[in-house]
Structure 1
Amino acid sequence: MEKISLNGVEIYPFTSEEQLLHYINQHKGILIAINAEKILHATEQTRSIINRNVGYCDGAGAMLALKQKGFRSVCKIPGCELWLKIVRRFYREKTFYLVGSKTQVIEETVNKLRQEFKDIRIAGYRDGYIKTEDDKERLIADIVEKKPDVVFVAMGSPKQELLMEKIQERHNAIFQGLGGSFDVYTGHVKRAPKWWVEHNLEFAYRLIKEPKRIKRQIYLIKYACWLITKKL
């Protein structure tokens, strides 16, 4: 599948979740969510990380830019939903390993997954507080030993991507970086209501709930200008 470059950030223009799931099952690799912020603030390091892996359209900003380039059927695939669809599709045939968040949250996540997906096989899990190289090495060694088919890492970018690449050097699997998805899944963080999500206004809902985000979201004005002037 051809990748499309937006400000040097290469994205796969998947037209459905089904297409993405089929692709990653066939090719494995590291899934990285791409939104307007990652495109606008791309650096040499972040571009390099994304471009050697599987960038997919996570936000409305990325979706609009791809549509502008002629990919009319491209769809937005929120990462906080995608990981659960990976679980739902493959939990009867694949094994899983989870890394990230606080101890309480990761334990609640594992317990909830086991309740919702009765036959799920979770090979291992741990919190995201990996403070030393020894911590990292023990984690990687455990993953190499247990050989999970799918590894979810929820630590924020680019930390989670760098860790997944380190693991991938010794164990090939389906990887996905999840940011704060475990917190959302367990109810510690509330996601925008369905109407806001469906109308691509999730960013506005977050801003209403957390006005201090204005400093972070002011970039959307610049991104909108890029879209209008077709700078992307």
Structure 2
Amino acid sequence: MPEFRYVNGIRIFGFPDKASLINYVQGKNEILVAVNAEKIKNADQELKDVINKNIGYPDGVGAVWALGQKGIKNVAKIPGVELWLEFVEKHYLKKSFYFIGAREEIIQSTVDKLNEEYPGINLAGYRNGYIKPHEMEDLFHDIQIKKPDYVFVAMGSPAQERLMMRLSEIHPAIYIGLGGSFDIYSGKTKRAPQFLIDLKLEWFYRLVTEPKRLKRQLKLVGFVKNMILKKY
């Protein structure tokens, strides 16, 4: 079992690379939750409970920093935007997949690209992330009937975690929350250049290209302060 630590009440597992995480979850029907500095600082008790009952993994440099400070040194940052495609690459001819999230044109572009890049992919179903209350039962029924092995949910946090918890209660599978991953995969949003990713400055690129994120980033000053003071 990989090492884990609790950071501000959130259990985070430290994996040395993506392959270790992928191998660890095989045969387990769990929810994989990407943990970053924002979640560590702002998660409410409901979200913490979801993470702690499942598998929280370090999606951001803040989570890696926190685990290192607590004694787990060989920890990789595992971006959710890359992780889900690793699962697809490894299992697309053997396992079935269900995709939920983003706007209709984005999810359709995502599915079209998946079919092109992974011919023969076992696509159990998909739908956009704008689920009206009266549509929820239809989604539950579809999941129960099609019984996918993997369910990817790209709706942003904590909405995606809440939905994954509800779905996991009616159908056991591997669930992964993906935030804006479909936007990036479909080409709607550009990811940071690789050299900035290597320099751990992907957050800076997103701030420059999405100035509306400034308010969210400023809230993380408290995270940095608490890390420096070792309050987590």
Q: Same fold (TM over 0.5)?
A: yes
CA distances 1:58-112 after superposition (whole Å, capped 9, x unpaired): 0000001111111111110000110111101111210101111111111111110
Superposition misfits of 4+ residues, deviation over 4 angstroms: none
Q: Give yes or no for the alignment of 1:139 onto 2:131.
A: no
Aligned length: 231
> Residues of 2 paired with 1:121 and 1:64: CA distance?
37
> Residues of 1 paired with 2:10 and 2:189: CA distance?
29
Shift of residue 28, structure 1, vs aligned partner = 2.4
Q: Which runs of 5+ in 1 are unaligned?
A: none
Q: Is the 8 A contact 2:92 2:118 kept in 1?
A: yes
Equivalences for 1:56-205 in 2 at 5 Å? 56-132=57-133, 134-205=134-205
> Residues of 2 paired with 1:128 and 1:15: CA distance?
32
* Counterpart secondary structure, 1:152: strand
Equivalences for 1:216-227 in 2 at 5 Å? 216-227=216-227
CA distances 1:17-74 after superposition (whole Å, capped 9, x unpaired): 1110011113121110000010011221221121112110000000011111111111
> Residues of 1 paired with 2:101 and 2:204: CA distance?
27
Shift of residue 222, structure 1, vs aligned partner = 2.0
> Residues of 2 paired with 1:127 and 1:207: CA distance?
26
> Residues of 2 paired with 1:128 and 1:211: CA distance?
24
Number of the residue aligned with 2:49:
48
User: What's the TM-score once normalised by structure 2's chain length?
Assistant: 0.96
Q: Is the 8 A contact 2:144 2:170 kept in 1?
A: yes
Give the counterpart letter for 1:178 in structure 2.
L
Q: Which runs of 5+ in 2 are unaligned?
A: none
User: What's the TM-score once normalised by structure 1's chain length?
Assistant: 0.96
> Residues of 1 paired with 2:94 and 2:162: CA distance?
27
Please provide the CA RMSD for this pair. 1.2
